[in-house]
Protein backbone atom coordinates (compact mmCIF):
# COMPACT_ATOMS: atom_id res chain seq x y z
CA UNK A 1 0.00 0.00 0.00
CA UNK A 2 1.38 3.45 -0.87
CA UNK A 3 1.54 5.91 1.99
CA UNK A 4 0.35 9.42 1.10
CA UNK A 5 1.41 12.56 2.95
CA UNK A 6 -1.23 15.22 3.59
CA UNK A 7 -0.84 18.58 1.81
CA UNK A 8 1.63 20.76 3.69
CA UNK A 9 0.16 24.14 2.78
CA UNK A 10 -3.61 24.47 2.90
CA UNK A 11 -5.23 27.69 1.67
CA UNK A 12 -8.73 28.32 2.97
CA UNK A 13 -10.64 31.25 1.50
CA UNK A 14 -14.25 32.39 1.46
CA UNK A 15 -16.60 35.23 2.40
CA UNK A 16 -17.25 36.63 5.87
CA UNK A 17 -18.73 34.19 8.39
CA UNK A 18 -18.62 31.18 6.08
CA UNK A 19 -17.09 29.07 8.85
CA UNK A 20 -13.45 29.33 7.70
CA UNK A 21 -12.02 29.85 11.18
CA UNK A 22 -13.87 26.91 12.71
CA UNK A 23 -12.87 24.67 9.82
CA UNK A 24 -9.28 25.95 9.75
CA UNK A 25 -8.79 25.45 13.47
CA UNK A 26 -10.21 21.90 13.37
CA UNK A 27 -8.07 20.98 10.37
CA UNK A 28 -4.94 22.40 11.97
CA UNK A 29 -5.64 20.45 15.17
CA UNK A 30 -6.29 17.23 13.25
CA UNK A 31 -3.11 17.56 11.18
CA UNK A 32 -0.88 19.09 13.87
CA UNK A 33 -0.41 22.22 11.73
CA UNK A 34 -0.24 25.92 12.51
CA UNK A 35 -3.59 27.69 12.17
CA UNK A 36 -3.15 31.19 10.81
CA UNK A 37 -6.19 33.43 10.38
CA UNK A 38 -4.91 36.31 8.22
CA UNK A 39 -8.06 38.41 8.81
CA UNK A 40 -6.60 39.09 12.27
CA UNK A 41 -3.88 41.24 10.71
CA UNK A 42 -6.32 43.43 8.73
CA UNK A 43 -8.50 43.72 11.82
CA UNK A 44 -5.53 44.63 14.03
CA UNK A 45 -4.39 47.44 11.70
CA UNK A 46 -7.99 48.74 11.59
CA UNK A 47 -8.24 48.61 15.38
CA UNK A 48 -4.97 50.54 15.84
CA UNK A 49 -6.11 53.21 13.35
CA UNK A 50 -9.48 53.60 15.10
CA UNK A 51 -7.93 53.68 18.56
CA UNK A 52 -5.61 56.50 17.42
CA UNK A 53 -8.46 58.39 15.78
CA UNK A 54 -6.70 58.23 12.44
CA UNK A 55 -8.50 59.17 9.24
CA UNK A 56 -9.18 55.83 7.54
CA UNK A 57 -9.42 57.58 4.17
CA UNK A 58 -5.75 58.57 4.42
CA UNK A 59 -4.29 55.68 2.43
CA UNK A 60 -0.64 56.72 2.87
CA UNK A 61 -0.93 57.02 6.63
CA UNK A 62 -2.80 53.71 6.99
CA UNK A 63 -0.24 52.01 4.74
CA UNK A 64 2.63 53.31 6.91
CA UNK A 65 0.77 52.03 9.94
CA UNK A 66 0.44 48.55 8.39
CA UNK A 67 4.13 48.52 7.46
CA UNK A 68 5.20 49.19 11.06
CA UNK A 69 2.45 47.42 13.00
CA UNK A 70 3.70 45.01 15.67
CA UNK A 71 0.93 42.45 15.95
CA UNK A 72 1.72 39.63 18.35
CA UNK A 73 -0.12 36.32 18.17
CA UNK A 74 0.38 34.16 21.28
CA UNK A 75 -1.04 30.94 22.72
CA UNK A 76 -4.40 31.53 24.46
CA UNK A 77 -4.10 32.89 28.01
CA UNK A 78 -7.81 32.46 28.75
CA UNK A 79 -10.49 29.86 28.09
CA UNK A 80 -13.15 32.22 26.78
CA UNK A 81 -13.50 30.77 23.30
CA UNK A 82 -10.35 32.34 21.86
CA UNK A 83 -7.90 30.25 19.83
CA UNK A 84 -5.00 32.62 20.53
CA UNK A 85 -4.21 35.96 22.17
CA UNK A 86 -3.82 38.96 19.87
CA UNK A 87 -1.59 41.52 21.54
CA UNK A 88 -0.75 45.03 20.34
CA UNK A 89 1.81 46.83 22.49
CA UNK A 90 0.92 45.40 25.88
CA UNK A 91 -2.84 45.35 25.30
CA UNK A 92 -4.81 42.16 24.74
CA UNK A 93 -7.07 43.08 21.80
CA UNK A 94 -8.35 39.56 21.05
CA UNK A 95 -12.01 40.58 21.28
CA UNK A 96 -11.59 44.29 20.48
CA UNK A 97 -10.59 43.40 16.91
CA UNK A 98 -13.92 41.54 16.55
CA UNK A 99 -16.02 44.57 17.55
CA UNK A 100 -18.73 45.86 15.23
CA UNK A 101 -16.75 49.09 14.80
CA UNK A 102 -13.81 47.11 13.37
CA UNK A 103 -16.26 44.98 11.32
CA UNK A 104 -17.67 48.14 9.76
CA UNK A 105 -14.28 49.62 8.81
CA UNK A 106 -11.96 46.72 8.02
CA UNK A 107 -12.97 46.47 4.35
CA UNK A 108 -11.77 50.02 3.73
CA UNK A 109 -8.38 49.28 5.26
CA UNK A 110 -8.01 45.90 3.53
CA UNK A 111 -8.72 47.44 0.11
CA UNK A 112 -5.49 49.53 0.19
CA UNK A 113 -2.80 48.05 -2.06
CA UNK A 114 0.05 49.10 0.25
CA UNK A 115 -1.62 47.57 3.29
CA UNK A 116 -2.20 44.31 1.40
CA UNK A 117 1.40 44.22 0.19
CA UNK A 118 2.83 44.73 3.69
CA UNK A 119 0.58 42.15 5.33
CA UNK A 120 0.59 39.52 2.59
CA UNK A 121 4.41 39.51 2.49
CA UNK A 122 4.45 38.59 6.18
CA UNK A 123 1.75 35.97 5.61
CA UNK A 124 3.63 34.41 2.70
CA UNK A 125 6.84 34.18 4.73
CA UNK A 126 5.00 32.25 7.44
CA UNK A 127 3.07 30.11 4.93
CA UNK A 128 6.18 29.00 3.08
CA UNK A 129 7.43 27.24 6.22
CA UNK A 130 4.70 24.65 5.52
CA UNK A 131 2.49 22.62 7.84
CA UNK A 132 0.04 25.46 7.90
CA UNK A 133 -3.67 26.05 7.40
CA UNK A 134 -3.93 29.65 6.27
CA UNK A 135 -7.33 31.33 6.26
CA UNK A 136 -8.35 34.51 4.43
CA UNK A 137 -9.74 35.90 1.18
CA UNK A 138 -6.75 35.75 -1.19
CA UNK A 139 -4.60 32.93 0.15
CA UNK A 140 -5.12 30.61 -2.83
CA UNK A 141 -4.96 33.42 -5.39
CA UNK A 142 -2.23 35.76 -4.09
CA UNK A 143 -0.53 34.83 -0.82
CA UNK A 144 0.18 31.15 -1.52
CA UNK A 145 -0.80 30.43 -5.13
CA UNK A 146 1.34 27.27 -4.96
CA UNK A 147 -0.60 25.89 -1.95
CA UNK A 148 -0.95 22.10 -2.02
CA UNK A 149 -4.68 22.22 -1.31
CA UNK A 150 -7.04 25.14 -1.85
CA UNK A 151 -10.51 25.24 -0.37
CA UNK A 152 -13.10 27.93 -1.02
CA UNK A 153 -15.75 27.72 1.69
CA UNK A 154 -19.05 29.30 0.77
CA UNK A 155 -22.51 29.61 2.34
CA UNK A 156 -25.58 31.72 1.59
CA UNK A 157 -25.66 35.28 2.89
CA UNK A 158 -28.59 34.46 5.20
CA UNK A 159 -26.84 31.46 6.73
CA UNK A 160 -23.67 33.44 7.31
CA UNK A 161 -25.56 36.32 8.93
CA UNK A 162 -27.34 33.81 11.17
CA UNK A 163 -24.01 32.27 12.24
CA UNK A 164 -22.49 35.68 13.01
CA UNK A 165 -25.65 36.61 14.97
CA UNK A 166 -25.53 33.41 17.05
CA UNK A 167 -21.81 33.90 17.68
CA UNK A 168 -22.37 37.41 19.09
CA UNK A 169 -25.27 36.26 21.26
CA UNK A 170 -23.15 33.38 22.59
CA UNK A 171 -20.51 35.94 23.61
CA UNK A 172 -23.20 37.90 25.47
CA UNK A 173 -23.22 40.79 22.99
CA UNK A 174 -26.24 42.54 21.51
CA UNK A 175 -27.10 41.44 17.99
CA UNK A 176 -29.83 42.27 15.51
CA UNK A 177 -30.18 39.78 12.64
CA UNK A 178 -31.42 42.27 10.02
CA UNK A 179 -28.62 44.67 10.83
CA UNK A 180 -25.99 41.90 10.65
CA UNK A 181 -27.38 40.67 7.33
CA UNK A 182 -27.09 44.15 5.86
CA UNK A 183 -23.48 44.41 7.06
CA UNK A 184 -22.53 40.98 5.70
CA UNK A 185 -23.92 41.97 2.28
CA UNK A 186 -21.97 45.23 2.34
CA UNK A 187 -18.72 43.54 3.42
CA UNK A 188 -19.12 40.90 0.64
CA UNK A 189 -19.63 43.69 -1.86
CA UNK A 190 -16.51 45.55 -0.73
CA UNK A 191 -14.33 42.40 -0.44
CA UNK A 192 -15.36 41.12 -3.91
CA UNK A 193 -15.23 44.40 -5.79
CA UNK A 194 -11.93 45.84 -4.59
CA UNK A 195 -9.27 46.35 -7.26
CA UNK A 196 -6.47 44.49 -5.45
CA UNK A 197 -6.83 40.79 -4.59
CA UNK A 198 -10.64 40.68 -4.64
CA UNK A 199 -12.40 37.76 -3.00
CA UNK A 200 -12.75 34.95 -5.54
CA UNK A 201 -11.99 31.23 -5.64
CA UNK A 202 -8.66 30.22 -7.22
CA UNK A 203 -9.14 28.30 -10.48
CA UNK A 204 -7.89 25.13 -8.81
CA UNK A 205 -9.80 25.54 -5.53
CA UNK A 206 -12.30 22.97 -4.31
CA UNK A 207 -15.52 24.86 -3.63
CA UNK A 208 -17.56 23.68 -0.65
CA UNK A 209 -21.02 25.04 0.04
CA UNK A 210 -21.61 24.60 3.76
CA UNK A 211 -25.26 25.69 3.84
CA UNK A 212 -26.60 22.20 4.43
CA UNK A 213 -23.57 20.82 6.26
CA UNK A 214 -22.66 21.11 9.90
CA UNK A 215 -19.13 21.96 11.01
CA UNK A 216 -18.19 18.29 11.56
CA UNK A 217 -19.28 17.30 8.06
CA UNK A 218 -17.24 20.08 6.48
CA UNK A 219 -14.11 19.03 8.42
CA UNK A 220 -14.65 15.38 7.44
CA UNK A 221 -14.99 16.36 3.77
CA UNK A 222 -11.75 18.37 3.79
CA UNK A 223 -9.84 15.68 5.71
CA UNK A 224 -10.97 13.29 2.98
CA UNK A 225 -9.47 15.67 0.39
CA UNK A 226 -6.21 15.72 2.41
CA UNK A 227 -5.74 11.96 1.98
Q: What is the DSSP letter of 7?
A: P
Report the half-sphere exposure of 157 (CA within 13 A, side-chain side): 12
Cβ(10)–Cβ(130) below 8 Å? no
Among 45, 50, 137, 141, binds ligand DC (CB under 6 A): 137
Cβ(143)–Cβ(42) below 8 Å? no
Q: Is 16 in the site for ligand DC (CB under 6 A)?
A: yes
- Based on CB atoms, which residue is closest to ligand DC, 7 or 136? 136
How many binding residues for ligand DC (CB under 6 A)? 13
Among 49, 133, 184, 191, binds ligand DC (CB under 6 A): 191
- Based on CB atoms, which residue is closest to ligand DC, 4 or 110? 110
Q: Is 39 in the site for ligand DC (CB under 6 A)?
A: yes
- Based on CB atoms, which residue is closest to ligand DC, 110 or 227? 110
Cβ(121)–Cβ(110) below 8 Å? no
Question: Percent helix, strand, coil in the chain (nearest 5)?
Answer: 50, 15, 35
- Based on CB atoms, which residue is closest to ligand DC, 106 or 118? 106
Strand arrangement, sheet containing 149-154: 34-37, 132-136, 9-13, 149-154, 206-209
Q: CB of 64: closest distance to ligand DC in angstroms?
A: 19
Binding mask of the shown chain, residues 100 to 129, with x at each position contacting ligand DC by CB under 6 A: ------xx--x-------------------
Q: Is 138 in the site for ligand DC (CB under 6 A)?
A: yes
- Based on CB atoms, which residue is closest to ligand DC, 5 or 184? 184
Q: How many Cβ atoms are within 10 Å of 173's Cβ, its own excluded? A: 12
Q: Is 187 in the site for ligand DC (CB under 6 A)?
A: yes
Q: CB of 92: closest distance to ligand DC in angstroms?
A: 17
User: Which residues, in sequence order, are bridge partners of residue 150?
Assistant: 11
- Based on CB atoms, which residue is closest to ligand DC, 33 or 141? 141
Among 22, 38, 94, 141, binds ligand DC (CB under 6 A): 38
Q: How many Cβ atoms are within 10 Å of 132's Cβ, its own excluded? A: 24
Cβ(190)–Cβ(56) below 8 Å? no
Q: Is 43 in the site for ligand DC (CB under 6 A)?
A: yes
- What is the rounded end-to-end Cα distance, in angstroms, of the chain? 13
Interacting residues toward ligand DC by CB under 6 A = 16, 38-39, 42-43, 106-107, 110, 136-138, 187, 191
Amino acid sequence: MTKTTPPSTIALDGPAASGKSTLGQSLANALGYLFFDTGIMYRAVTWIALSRDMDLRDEDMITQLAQGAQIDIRPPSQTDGRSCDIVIGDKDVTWDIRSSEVDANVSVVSAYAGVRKALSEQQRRIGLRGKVVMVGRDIGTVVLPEADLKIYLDASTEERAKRRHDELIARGEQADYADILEKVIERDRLDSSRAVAPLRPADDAVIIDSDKMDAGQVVARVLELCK
